[in-house]
Amino acid sequence: MSGASPVSLERQGDIGVITVNYPPVNALGPGVAEGIKDCLARGNTDPAIKGMILRGAGRSFIAGADIRGFGTNRPRLPLGQRVYDVLDASAKPVLAAIHGYALGGGLEIAMACHYRLALPSAKVGLPEVLIGILPGGGGTQRLPRLVGPKAALDMIVTGRHVPAREARTLGIIDELLPDNANLLEGAIAWLIRLLAVRPLPRVRDRAVKLADPDIFDAMRKSIARRARNQKAPYYCIDAVEASTVLPFDEGCRREADLFKELENSAEARALRYAFFIEREVTRLPDIPATTPVRDFTTAAVVGAGTMGGGIAMSFADSGYPVKILDATQEALDRGMQRIRDNYATSVRRGSLAEDEMQRRLARIQPVADYVDIRDCDLVIEAVFEEMDVKKPIFAKLDEVMKPGALLFSNTSALDIDQLAEMTKRPKDVAGTHFFSPANVMKLLEVVRGKASSPETLATAMAMGRKIGKLSAMAGNTDGFVANRSRAPFNTEMVILLEEGCLPEQVDKVMVDFGYPMGPFAVGDLAGLDIGYASRKRRAAENPNFRKQPIPDRLVEMGRFGQKTGAGWYHYETGDRTPHPDPDVAEIIKEVAAGLGIPRREFTDQEILQRLLFASVNEACKILEEGKAYRPSDIDVMWLHGFGFPRYRGGLFFWADGIGVRSVYNQIAAWHQQYGERWAPSRLLRELAEAGTSFREAKAAAFVP
């Protein structure tokens, strides 16, 4: 190998230490697998070396195959010659010394070693399913041999990261070092004790113990809803099942065949895209990565309503003490009760341990006075969505909060500059828009005001990451980026009702497409009264605002959604199942007749495209106005703010699958048919003319 190889071999006494050094996470990029093979061969021919340790430099063991290499024509070695195939054929023992992550191909390499030793902080897993493929380095055959088919199935189908202690219990790891041990020293000492052991233990030689052959069908059934429209989870099951009926090498061939089929599937391409754009969204092209980020240890939330409570939970869930303030004791008590109820539901469902719930609750301190939050490092205002309510709160926060504290607003649409103007520190003000339910949804839209300083924005982005969110930057425009791009979808879904659809029909199309819930059912969950208030505001501000008489009627009848037992659907007491409601169908028909709109039939495709194309067009306008950095940021927002199916990549990625010209032609046709609301954006027209994909579209320079 040349000196530039990312893998090196050095001898420490009797032990050859093979180190993979391919920053940042030691993915199996060009030269890595070859380098390991080469070092292994050299270690085997060096008479001074009695055994070898394979380890990663930097923060991880090996994070898996290089995802950038999938779907390219990068040459691959045939089965039998890959690093996964040759490691355990080594005549000298090889031990994988694991810290950080051993994921995907990284864990597959470790399982092909004779021994595995780890630090307790390490995590292992086979997350390939999350990028639409299956473990293709023997993982589906070795893991069942190590931990049994049931545990292997769980790990491979969920893709979850397994902490080292659990991995030790399962049998993936042979030995755990103490917490602060030196990994290399510990590994050498351990291997020296095993140098004489023969035959060398090989996972491939173990038998698979299948206690219950029904686990495979049971798993297929249990994922049916979650994995609809996807192949990878099912192929993962098929491959693990193969391990129980085929000899090792044949099982690997089966795995390789299934892998090949998935690698370039639409879902794998979309999921790889999602993986990379989620990382890109954190980069702010016009704010240097070196911008100082203010540290925070304490946070405050003003407003103990549903959003405020969810935001406070997000901090508490990530280990931060948080104070929650409301105007009255009753509001505080109600808010705290809601938080306790939410946690109790998680405990009941088994997703949260009782003692962890207590720890989280202890981090949330209800307070009744502004002086109690003055020393917090940052505060998030989450009160009622009215400018006149929020403005005095910003003036008050400016007055009480210590110098240097950051003032954020959870507004979902209001002008952040007007709030900043209420303070003498507009540079310390930004929007931090959480999505409902705030403790669950991953998106945090950071809204940049005219005066927001780079430090404030970088801190808001970092704050999101620290509390487990994905932060994405948005310009200050009505509805910001996520809700603004979604708004035409919301309008269109109601217009579809006027023209002949029913809520349950539209919901079914969107659930079939891959949304966890249909948009009307989501409306009932969130509360129809919320949209009502913002429609009134927009109608007052904009004479061309498209009125929505059907939902207005429902709200005026007191049908607010689940909380009143009726909305777009009706609900039985204590049950969240939406039931189609003939009364709603009647109202829809009445309103449509009043508007003079004839009712007609719709195909599923027309429903889907009417909703999503409307948003594609608006998203283009957002880019054209420089309110978002990149098309892919909008895709991230759709994936994490609105439950857009991840295996479809995002709004623009999906639209690219149809083709920019087809999208443009359809929108232009609807412009003729329905008028101005479908006027194609300039950017869309230009992309169509140039044949440039949405993903390659260039946004205008960012305008706060």
* Catalytic residue IDs: 108, 128
DSSP letters for 540-579: HH-TT----HHHHHHHHTT--BGGGTBSSEE--TT----E
Report the residue number, 64 or 308, with the smaller CB distance to ligand 3HC. 64
Pairing assessment for the beta strands 569-570 and 579-580 based on DSSP bridges: antiparallel
Residue type at 213 in one-letter notation:
P
Among 43, 64, 335, 567, binds ligand 3HC (CB under 6 A): 64
Between 239 and 422, name the residue whose CB sits nearer to ligand 3HC.
Answer: 239
Backbone angles phi, psi at 443, to 5 degrees: -75, 135
Among 32, 83, 97, 101, binds ligand 3HC (CB under 6 A): 101
Does 127 engage in binding with ligand 3HC (CB under 6 A)?
A: yes
Cβ nearer to ligand 3HC, comparing 27 with 623: 27
Q: Does 519 bind ligand 3HC (CB under 6 A)?
A: no
Q: Which span sits near ligand 3HC by CB under 6 A: 102-110, 181-189, 320-328, 331-339?
A: 102-110
Indicate whether 103 belongs to the interface with ligand 3HC (CB under 6 A): yes
Q: Min. distance of Cβ 164 from ligand 3HC in angstroms?
A: 14
- Site for ligand 3HC (CB under 6 A): which residue of 65, 146, 271, 460? 65
Nearest-angstrom CA–CA distance, 95 and 55:
9
With tokens 């204590």, the residue in question is 574
Q: CB atoms < 10 A from the CB of 141, how many?
A: 31
Q: C-alpha dihedral over 104, 108, 113, 114, to 10 degrees? A: 110
To ligand 3HC, the closest distance from the beta carbon of 17 in angstroms equals 22
What's the closest the beta carbon of residue 260 comes to ligand 3HC, in angstroms?
11
Q: How far is the CB of 102 from ligand 3HC (least distance, A)?
A: 10
Of 165 and 546, nearer to ligand 3HC (C-beta) is: 165
The number of beta carbons lying within 10 Å of the beta carbon of residue 388 is 7
- In the numeric block, which tokens belong to residue 265? 């599937």
Q: Residues 35, 93, 132, 136: which binds ligand 3HC (CB under 6 A)?
A: 136
Question: Which string of x and - marks every residue 44-63 that binds ligand 3HC (by CB under 6 A)?
Answer: -------------------x
Least distance in angstroms from the C-beta of 669 to ligand 3HC = 40
Amino acid at 342: N
**Residue 66, interface with ligand 3HC (CB under 6 A)?**
yes
Closer residue to ligand 3HC, CB minimum distance, 162 or 407:
162
366-to-299, 308, 424, 484, 666 alpha-carbon distances in Å: 12, 11, 27, 33, 53
DSSP 276-331: HHHHHTT--TTS-TTS-----S-EEEE--SHHHHHHHHHHHHTT--EEEE-SSHHH
Cα distances (Å, whole numbers) of residue 626 to 43, 526, 704 = 56, 30, 8
- Identify the residue among 36, 67, 110, 219 touching ligand 3HC (CB under 6 A): 67
How many Cβ atoms from other residues are within 10 Å of residue 522's Cβ?
A: 18
Closest approach of ligand 3HC to the CB of residue 135, in Å:
4
From the list 20, 53, 131, 414, which residue makes contact with ligand 3HC (rule: CB under 6 A)?
A: 131
- Please report whether residue 465 would count as binding ligand 3HC according to CB under 6 A: no
Q: Least distance to ligand 3HC from the beta carbon of 536, Å?
A: 43
Return the residue of 85, 108, 238, 635 that touches ligand 3HC, per CB under 6 A.
108
- The answer to whether 273 touches 649, Cβ cutoff 8 Å, is yes
Q: Is 157 a residue that touches ligand 3HC (CB under 6 A)?
A: no
- Which of residues 63 and 382 has its CB atom nearest to ligand 3HC in the complex? 63
Among 6, 43, 105, 551, binds ligand 3HC (CB under 6 A): 105
What is the smallest separation between the CB atom of 70 and ligand 3HC, expressed in angstroms?
Answer: 7
DSSP structural state of residue 255: H
* Length of the chain (residues): 704
Our CB check for ligand 3HC shows the closer of 137 and 488 to be: 137
Check residue 135 for interaction with ligand 3HC (CB under 6 A).
yes
Does 128 bind ligand 3HC (CB under 6 A)? Our answer is: yes
Count the alpha carbons within 13 Å of 486 in the hemisphere toward its beta carbon: 22
Size of the site for ligand 3HC (CB under 6 A): 22
Q: Closest Cα to residue 299, out of 287, 313, 281, 282?
A: 313
629 lies in the site for ligand 3HC, by CB under 6 A: no
Residues sharing a CB contact under 8 Å with residue 614, sequence separation 6 or more, in sequence order: 488, 489, 491, 492, 677, 678
Residues 15-34 that bind ligand 3HC (CB under 6 A): 24-25, 27
Please choose, out of 125-133, 144-152, 417-425, 587-595, the segment that lies near ligand 3HC by the rule CB under 6 A: 125-133
Q: Which residues of 627-662 are buried (b: 16+ CB within 10 A; e: fewer)?
A: bbbbbbbbbbbbbbbbbbbbbbbbbbbbbbeeebee
Give least dist CB 295 to ligand 3HC, A.
19
d(CA 698, CA 468): 29
What is the smallest separation between the CB atom of 321 and ligand 3HC, expressed in angstroms?
A: 24
DSSP H helical ranges for 318-446: 329-349, 354-363, 387-400, 416-420
Give Cβ neighbours of residue 565 (< 8 Å, ≥ 6 apart): 571, 572, 573
Per CB under 6 A, 279 contacts ligand 3HC:
yes
Choose the binding region for ligand 3HC from 127-135, 178-186, 532-540, 654-662 (rule: CB under 6 A): 127-135
- Nearest one of 229, 278, 233 to 648, comparing CA atoms: 229
135-143, 205-213, 592-600, 647-655 -> range binding ligand 3HC (CB under 6 A): 135-143
Are 22 and 35 a contacting pair, CB within 8 Å?
no
Task: State in angstroms the smallest separation of the CB of 162 from ligand 3HC.
Answer: 13
Token pair 């769980």: residue = 154
- According to DSSP, residue 5 is labeled -
| Phi, psi dihedral angles at 122 (to 5 degrees) | -75, 160
Stretch that binds ligand 3HC, among 130-138, 426-434, 445-453, 659-667 (CB under 6 A): 130-138
Q: 25 vs 651, which CB is nearer to ligand 3HC?
A: 25
Q: How many CB atoms are located within 10 Å of the residue 351 CB?
A: 8
Q: 15 has which bridge partners?
A: 12, 51
- Contact between 647 and ligand 3HC by CB under 6 A: the answer reads no
Alpha-carbon gap, residue 251 to 257, rounded angstroms: 10
CB of 555 to ligand 3HC, least distance (A): 43
Choose between 125 and 561: whose C-beta lies nearer to ligand 3HC: 125
Give the binding site for ligand 3HC (CB under 6 A): 24-25, 27, 63-68, 101, 103-105, 108, 127-128, 131, 135-137, 139, 279
